[in-house]
A and B are shown apart, each in its own frame.
Chain A
């Protein structure tokens, strides 16, 4: 069975290395006092804050672009994306680089926490949070006594207006 997997999806298996299922793994990060998570499958790397170059014609939450070893990556400030208060970047601020629909995008977050293995059974997926029809929240994960808000990277990076997380959190 495991051999089959390696044979059919070798590249993926390599990325998986020794872990069981990449779909159940989430990179968690902090924004304000809240803990968020994104599926690790889309994460390509985590880099420290660097010089941002401003570009025109993008929403305010796209702070600009960075040149990451010859790749131009737009940066989204997740606080601003959620309509939360702006906060000065500090030494804990990091950029999580994701590959969403074949295009790179960097998320500016207050700090990364850890990689968690969260089984689907630990995730509550209420049909609707708040009034908005669109939400970047994919579900709430119960990990011990904490709750991690799991985000749908595609919706987050897309254009739609998002309901405020404040309205969503139970």
Chain B
């Protein structure tokens, strides 16, 4: 696969290609020109940069409209720091289990990695469950999408975060299933799990930002 070709040292590529540039009298020098990251990992970092702009725009929109809602309920009326703290804790713990999955895979231990992936996915799903409960509770308190700018910005911002967690849950479950069935190239398993981990940690970090700035700051007097 071309991706593997790129990840290799250029001298090896040249040698594999039958080039011999040790003693053929070339004055010119072949220099190493790769970034030192596998394609898929570099792609994930670029994608996460793109995602930063995405969530930056959503969170920016929330603060652009903060305090401009013309009708209640307002954030202080609906937020329940206790409940959200529990779901936040669970999500943060899922980052720990994700890191353990990545580590297990690095030690070439697919069964352990699979188990930690399942635990991570379950923790993520629990977080999404909390969010569903939170949303229905807020609607019960009278905050709908169309109620006010607060309703619109809050639901869409946290909803898209929850959507990302859901995508992550599907991804990790699929990965665990594929590892279980042995359908993936064993040589590529560590990098596959690591890249899924990058995504998962990113989604967690976005939640830390939202929990801190949207929920906690609301209660600073």
Q: Do A and B come from one complex?
A: no
User: CB within 8 Å of B: which residues of A?
Assistant: none
User: CB within 8 Å of A: which residues of B?
Assistant: none
